[in-house]
Amino acid sequence: MTQFSVYVEFTDSGTTPEAFVDIAEDLTAYGGTAGTAPNGNLSIRLFVESDSAVDAGNRGVEYAQGAAMKQGIHPAVVGIEVMTEAEFDRRLAEPLVPELAGVAEAADIIQVSRTRVSQLLDAGDLKPHHLQTLASGPVFSADGLRRYAVTEHNRTRGVRLTPLALSPAERALLEVLAASAAKTTVPATTEEHQLAAAAIESVADAGQVRLHWQPASSDLADALDVLAGHKLIRTRGVFRKEADAGHEDDLVVTVLNKGHRHAGIAAQAADAEQDEVR
């Protein structure tokens, strides 16, 4: 059995402070509390032990409605939220105010000038991460800017590429995939390159690379996940009509524009290292 936190919000019923106390007392066995939601609605939170979140949610709504009805309140449910008590405690432990960033911090995170930050904001690129504008200037979510710096920012042609901390296996896999998709010479300078090249089954005219892949056992599976997480590639499983005997687990990989650009940087760095060795 798992302890679940169940939050139930009802339509505004003009509930009195006295009614809040009575509702909470009626739900004492479930650690119940009652109050006013930010939008003015009646909100009730209680804790229910159950084998599933669905059952806990159903029972929580039933108990909350019953406690409200005892006070002559008959509101309609507008929403519920169910989570384990452990997740509820984790969220309570999070800081109320997320890490913030001004223009100077944004410029440092994205690795551009302050003027460029203003341009990106005016263009709408930073709008999802823009929280508010104060007299001192715009305020951003620092975490949002970090995600933007390694994903969206690098998709735009002509902007500075933020270096990605790829492992040798991840970098080799990206170079092999990009070279295969472009139908150029596939690098085989390291053992990682050779392992990646050996996994390639074929290349479609559209530049999609098909891998004979066993993610559960392949050493390159983790590297593939990392590249997809950085939005350097996109993967999908083969469709039934595409699957030949013994190839039902193949993957079709599309190297995105960002992936090709980062593969180019990786190739240049590798060439420079080879020149130094010589």
pLDDT by residue for the chain (278 residues), tens only, comes to 899 999 999 987 667 888 899 999 999 999 999 998 888 889 999 999 999 999 999 999 999 999 999 988 888 899 999 999 999 998 888 777 788 999 999 999 888 889 989 999 998 889 999 999 999 999 999 999 988 887 777 655 555 566 788 888 899 999 999 999 888 888 888 888 888 888 888 887 667 888 876 654 467 788 888 898 888 888 888 666 666 666 667 788 888 878 888 887 544 444 444 444 44
The burial of 84, by beta-carbon neighbours within 10 Å (0-12 exposed, 13-18 middle, 19 or more buried), is given as: middle
Whether the pTM exceeds 0.75: the reply is: no
CA distance 73 to 265: 66
Among residues 182, 144, 169, the alpha carbon closest in space to that of 259 is found at 182
pLDDT attached to residue 196: 87
Q: What is the pLDDT of residue 241?
A: 64
Question: SS3 for 120?
Answer: helix
225-264 b/e (C-beta count within 10 Å ≥ 16 → b):
ebbeebbbbebeebeeeeeeeeeeebbbbbbbebbbbbbe
Q: Are 172 and 196 in contact (CB under 8 A)?
A: yes
